Amino acid sequence: MFETKIAMVLRDDLPVWQKLNVTAFLMSGVVAGAPEVIGAPYFDRSGQEYHRLSIQPVVVLAADAAQMAVIHRRSLEREVKTALFIEEMFTSNHDAENRQVFSAFGPEDAKVVGIGLRADRRIVDKITKGACKHP
């Protein structure tokens, strides 16, 4: 059993393609903040090498907009660093533009569509309370 937990929380009203896109971006942020979660390379029978993967499972949760704001607030209150994706980032086309759009909002007005976090599993459970397993 892992002492930490990785959770992705997605706003439940997003189209599927946006949920997948946001999850990929959030996981890259979690990995950048905790590179120790990446294991050894994979090799198939022929010796072909493949990318390294996370050593621990990732739980994917869903929540409505109001609950997303609560989860965001809880993560800030507990000082848990997160990967955050806001709705307005869907209008940008590259990393620099994403940062510019992101910087125009604060915790009180950000329309959060995704939160990725890794912390002690009990803390993650407290932060994400109210979200349900993604269907």
Residue 78 CB partners (closer than 8 Å, separation 6+)? 119, 123, 126, 127
Look at the pTM and tell me if it is higher than 0.85.
yes
Question: Are the C-beta atoms of residues 34 and 124 closer than 8 Å to each other?
Answer: no
What average pLDDT does the segment 49-74 reach? Answer: 97
Give pLDDT, residue 135. 83
How do residues 77-116 score in pLDDT, each as one tens digit? 999 999 999 999 999 989 999 999 999 999 999 999 999 9
Q: List the domains of the chain with CATH numbers.
A: 4-133 (3.40.1490.10)
